[in-house]
């Protein structure tokens, strides 16, 4: 999406999530701050948004990490689009909600604006992925990056046996960023956060929109390289991608 189109459709903000503890990484260092080619993992997501067409970035992190992020990431690497660094919450959706509230309070986001929500542990969301999500957010109001599943997927029954095998041609693995018209996502989150029973099992923002509104969510082409770094094995894959960028 070019800057002329952006000016016609409103502002875009990115809420980048870095408040998770990363227990599956088996490391004393939180995964978003682990070094990948000499830079913290979170650097790569922030750099892509910094260099792209979004207007503002809100970084959501742990309350104890705010000062570190300001000095060792934002100031050190010269990020200028970061509107604020705010503390997240217990669950992912709490952190997203804090980011959304910050956009309204500090950025004046509202009607006509858009927001991309991105996991800071996905360092390879390239400009093409982000552009497609931005386009579809404008066209459809709600979209998620993802890719058709390479594997056959089975849904288990309560006893742990294979219950249903969905048609693989219809199965997508969902990624981030996920893009929305800001008022749509904010309204959905306001409704969900008002009732504890709505918050059970929420794992991404598309689920919030799907369950709290009748708005359909578009599946947007992401990239098989747009992995989420969750385990030590993922870090090895990420290092391969970084060191062989000319080949991917």
3-state SS of 142-178 is EEEEEEECCCCCCEECCCCCEEECCCHHHCEEEEEEE
pLDDT tens digits, 150-159: 999 999 999 9
Q: Which residue has the higher pLDDT, 212 or 21?
A: 212
Identify the pLDDT of residue 23. 56
Domain 3-247 has CATH 3.40.50.880: no
pLDDT greater than 90 at residue 168: yes
User: Residue 140 in contact with residue 178, Cβ under 8 Å?
Assistant: no
* Summary mean pLDDT of the chain: 92
71, pLDDT greater than 80: yes
Cα 37 from chain centre: 22
Mean pLDDT of 219-248: 88
Q: How far is CA 241 from CA 36, 46, 153, 232, in A?
A: 10, 18, 26, 15
Query: CA 91, CA 177: separation in Å to the nearest integer?
Result: 18
Query: How far apart, in whole angstroms, are the C-alpha atoms of residue 94 and residue 212?
Result: 16
pLDDT score of 4: 41
pLDDT of 26 > 90? The answer is no
Per-domain residue ranges of the chain: 3-247
% of the chain exceeding 70 in pLDDT: 91
Tokens, residue 125: 């969301």
- Tokens, residue 96: 């997203």
């Amino acid at each position: 999406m070019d800057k002329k189109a952006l000016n016609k459709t409103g502002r875009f903000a990115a809420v980048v999530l870095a408040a998770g503890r990363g227990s599956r990484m088996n490391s004393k260092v939180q995964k978003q701050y682990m070094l990948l080619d000499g830079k913290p993992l979170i650097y790569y997501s922030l750099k892509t948004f910094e260099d792209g067409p979004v207007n503002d970035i809100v970084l959501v992190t742990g309350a104890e990490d705010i000062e570190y992020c300001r000095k060792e990431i934002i100031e050190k690497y010269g990020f200028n689009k970061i509107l604020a660094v705010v503390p997240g919450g217990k669950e992912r959706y709490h952190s997203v909600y804090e980011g959304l509230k910050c956009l309204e309070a500090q950025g004046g986001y509202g009607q006509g604006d858009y927001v991309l929500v991105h996991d800071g542990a996905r360092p390879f969301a390239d400009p093409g992925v982000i552009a497609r999500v931005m386009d579809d957010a404008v066209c459809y109001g709600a979209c998620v990056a993802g890719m058709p599943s390479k594997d056959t997927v089975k849904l288990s029954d309560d006893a742990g046996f294979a219950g249903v095998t969905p048609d693989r041609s219809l199965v997508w693995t969902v990624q981030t960023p996920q893009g929305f018209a800001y008022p749509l996502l904010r309204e959905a989150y306001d409704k969900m956060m008002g009732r504890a029973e709505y918050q059970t099992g929420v794992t991404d923002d598309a689920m919030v929109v799907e369950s709290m509104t009748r708005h359909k969510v578009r599946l947007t082409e992401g990239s098989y390289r747009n992995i989420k770094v969750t385990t030590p094995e993922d870090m090895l894959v990420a290092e391969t991608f970084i060191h062989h960028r000319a080949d991917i």
